[in-house]
Chains A and B, each alone.
Chain A
Amino acid sequence: MRQVFNKNTFMLWRDLIRITWQELRKNGWRTFFTILGIVIGVGSIIIVVSLGEAAEELIVEELSGLGSQTVLVAAGREPKGPADILELLTDTLKEREYEALQDSSRVRNVVALSPIIFQPETSEFAGETERGTLIGSNEELFHIFQVYPVEGRIFSAEETRNRASIVVLGSKIKDELFGPSDAVGEMIKIKGRSFRVIGVLPSVGNITIFNVDEFMVIPYTTVQDYIIGTKYYNRIILEASSNKVIPLIVRDIEATLRELHDITDPSKDDFFVDTQADAALRVQAVTDIFATLLIAVATISLIVGGVGIMNIMLVSVTERTKEIGILKAVGATKDTILEQFLLESVLITTIGGIIGMIFGVFFSYSVSLFMQAFVNPEWKFVFPVSAVFIGVFVSVLIGVVFGIYPARKAARKDPIESLWYEQ
């Protein structure tokens, strides 16, 4: 007698898939409507992740502008709410702190360092006035911000030491005061004192909280002695030699300033250190909330879709009762029937998931085109690789979870009752 059997418990997969595919094709439209829930659910996941990542990238980019290697030290406690804003106006960053942070034995891996004093101020030239931001700093500020004059030059270290009365203007201030004519070499008045314009910056918009276009940059020594009359700084900006050393720098700064201020309890810090990574984290916290909400909606859609699949599979099991009887008569075991119906529901949800992904990617891409054209040319399309994997996994999972009950029902049917079942 020929040997036609082997001990493998599973039906050949290719045949199983072929049989399942035939079943799905038979019920084309019914299957299509059934998978809509899955399509919408998986599509939402893709859209949420794609648009969320794109928005986050854009916001982080806008916020930072400074590059990820910058570390910001601010005077006062870290603002926790509106009431803490006043704390920013404290006098905890002075020459002593600036010098300590410059000391490379205390804070290592720093390549540039700038103190910053800022306050709103009005500038005046030939009867024209314009409000802007007075910035007192040193020449390294231009390197850290990576903004260099399009006309004229930046000031030198010597000019900073000598309290020179010179100013570098932001593009908007220059335009308002001088219009199309040259500004370099002219004298403008700030707080009644004359300053020579030595450079004009290009239009770059916002860098962190500053609008560079409204800048009036003056050596910090000049600002302290002739304009404000105090020795405080609002910020000290440091640039690290690489991204990797940022945690080390933060630690060094904290240790240095705590030592200087006799602080043992970090919660009593009278300064705070902010990195671009922190800024990114804060943005992420906000986008995460939105993402969570939308994922919740997607989950509900998937569950509703799953219940729909279960429903249609139960109908299908009943409709195919006689067929199940025939299969059992020719030797299908419970497991074989279970596999067949389970594979069917998994195939349905997976197809739904794939359609959802295509729809989600297409939608996200369309939105990114729209954003680029009408809202912000910097908007980028993000292909959500992680979401695609999650989408596939979730589709298969929904197929298994909601397919198992109908499949078991099919597997447990009595062969005789099924064979003689009349529709």
Chain B
Amino acid sequence: MAIINVSGLGKVYGKSEAQTVAIRDISFSVEEGEFVAIVGPSGSGKSTLLHILGFLDRPTTGSYRFEGKSMSEYSDDECARIRNQKMGFVFQSFNLLPRDTVEENVARPLLYAKVNRRERNTIVGHALESVGMSHRIYHRPFELSGGEKQRVAIARAIVNNPRVIFADEPTGNLDSQSGANVMDVFQALHTEGRTIILISHDREISKHAPRLLSIRDGLLVSDERGNAASVQ
């Protein structure tokens, strides 16, 4: 069964005259363990699509089934719980809490999941180790480089052992070397069998993903599998 299944998905912002159609009639499915890149120029609607897939926003038309259950059946608080327990987010601008240490940032989703302190420390330790950031555990975000921040953000995204990781232009604010390192982390996660959905306007980055969805003017224009770069 597909983890994600969208059909006829559309999102319209604003009312009557001032309406903007962000996406329209988008349908596709994602299976467990897939690494999908959604590409398109800025303003194409890919961010809107990611927000809906990540339960941060609701579609105006169409249906979205996550783990076989329609999103419309979930209340806002239930959506928050799904985000907390089944989804991980990586953003272009890292979105770390500036005053929390690396450890506290990564631990935050576990806090909302009521994991006790001792268990939390163990899980956070593993997550930081898997992104190679164990040596920065007590640092604060402003003491880290961009690439390091993003790896901490990835650790936070995987700390609750989510079913899907959403990444929104994760390399957009990084130099090419740091970007490559971050993409290596995603590759490793994919190899572990995690489901990843990544959006980017950069076709080079999206070459890491075996499956490529192209979006233009809010419409899904292509769905290609077997990206050359990923078949190594």
Chain A interface residues (CB < 8 Å from chain B): 1-2, 4-6, 8, 10-12, 14-15, 22-23, 26, 322-323, 325-336, 415-416, 419
Q: Which residues of A contact B57 (CB under 8 A)?
A: 415-416
**Additional A-B contact list (8), CB under 8 Å, known A11-B112, A23-B99, A332-B80:** A5-B115, A12-B116, A14-B117, A15-B117, A331-B113, A333-B80, A335-B77, A416-B56
Within 8 A of A (CB), among B37-61: 51, 54, 56-57
B84 interface residue per 8 A CB criterion: yes
Q: Which residues of A contact B176 (CB under 8 A)?
A: none
Of the candidate stretches B103-111, B182-190, B222-230, the one touching chain A is B103-111
The answer to whether B80 and A4 touch across the interface, beta carbons within 8 angstroms, is no
Nearest 3 CB-CB pairings of A with B? A331-B84, A333-B80, A331-B112
The answer to whether B123 and A4 touch across the interface, beta carbons within 8 angstroms, is yes
Q: Which residues of A contact B123 (CB under 8 A)?
A: 4
Number of A-B contacts (CB under 8 A): 83
B178 interface residue per 8 A CB criterion: no
- Mask, B72-109, CB within 8 Å of A = 1, is 00001100110111000101000111011000000011
The answer to whether B81 and A331 touch across the interface, beta carbons within 8 angstroms, is yes
B130 interface residue per 8 A CB criterion: no
CA distance A332 to B84 in the complex (A): 7
Q: Which residues of B contact A15 (CB under 8 A)?
A: 111, 117
What are 11 A-B contacts with C-beta separation under 8 Å? A4-B161, A11-B111, A12-B117, A23-B99, A326-B97, A327-B108, A328-B80, A329-B83, A331-B85, A334-B77, A415-B56
The answer to whether A331 and B114 touch across the interface, beta carbons within 8 angstroms, is no
CA distance A10 to B111 in the complex (A): 10
B94 to chain A, nearest CB (A): 10
B160 interface residue per 8 A CB criterion: yes
The answer to whether A5 and B114 touch across the interface, beta carbons within 8 angstroms, is yes
CA distance A322 to B98 in the complex (A): 11
The answer to whether B114 and A6 touch across the interface, beta carbons within 8 angstroms, is yes
Q: Which residues of A contact B76 (CB under 8 A)?
A: 333-334
Q: Return the chain B residue nearest A415 by Cβ.
A: B56
Q: Which residues of A contact B113 (CB under 8 A)?
A: 4-5, 331
B192 interface residue per 8 A CB criterion: no
Q: Return the chain A residue nearest B123 by Cβ.
A: A4
B208 interface residue per 8 A CB criterion: no
Say yes or no: A4-B119 contact (C-beta < 8 A), given A326-B95, A330-B83. yes
Q: Which residues of A contact B108 (CB under 8 A)?
A: 327, 330
A109 to chain B, nearest CB (A): 66
Chain B interface residues (CB < 8 Å from chain A): 51, 54, 56-57, 76-77, 80-81, 83-85, 89, 91, 95-97, 99-100, 108-117, 119, 123, 156, 160-161
Q: Which residues of B contact A1 (CB under 8 A)?
A: 161
Q: Return the chain B residue nearest A14 by Cβ.
A: B117
The answer to whether B51 and A4 touch across the interface, beta carbons within 8 angstroms, is no
State which of A4, A10, A415 has its C-beta within 8 Å of the C-beta of B110. Answer: A4
Interface centre among B80, B91, B123 (most CB of A within 10 A): B80
The answer to whether B85 and A330 touch across the interface, beta carbons within 8 angstroms, is no
Q: Which residues of A contact B77 (CB under 8 A)?
A: 333-335
Q: Which residues of B contact A336 (CB under 8 A)?
A: 112
Q: Return the chain A residue nearest B107 by Cβ.
A: A15
Q: Which residues of B contact A2 (CB under 8 A)?
A: 161
CA distance A125 to B24 in the complex (A): 120
Q: Which residues of B contact A14 (CB under 8 A)?
A: 117
Interface centre among A22, A326, A328, A336 (most CB of B within 10 A): A326
State which of A8, A11, A329, A334 has its C-beta within 8 Å of the C-beta of B89. Answer: A329
CA distance A11 to B107 in the complex (A): 13
The answer to whether B99 and A333 touch across the interface, beta carbons within 8 angstroms, is no
A317 to chain B, nearest CB (A): 16
Q: Which residues of B contact A329 (CB under 8 A)?
A: 54, 56, 83, 89, 95
Q: Which residues of B contact A416 (CB under 8 A)?
A: 51, 56-57
CA distance A1 to B32 in the complex (A): 15
Q: Which residues of A contact B160 (CB under 8 A)?
A: 4, 331
The answer to whether A331 and B109 touch across the interface, beta carbons within 8 angstroms, is yes
The answer to whether B99 and A26 touch across the interface, beta carbons within 8 angstroms, is yes
The answer to whether A4 and B97 touch across the interface, beta carbons within 8 angstroms, is no
Say yes or no: A419-B95 contact (C-beta < 8 A), given A5-B85, A11-B111. yes
CA distance A284 to B110 in the complex (A): 58
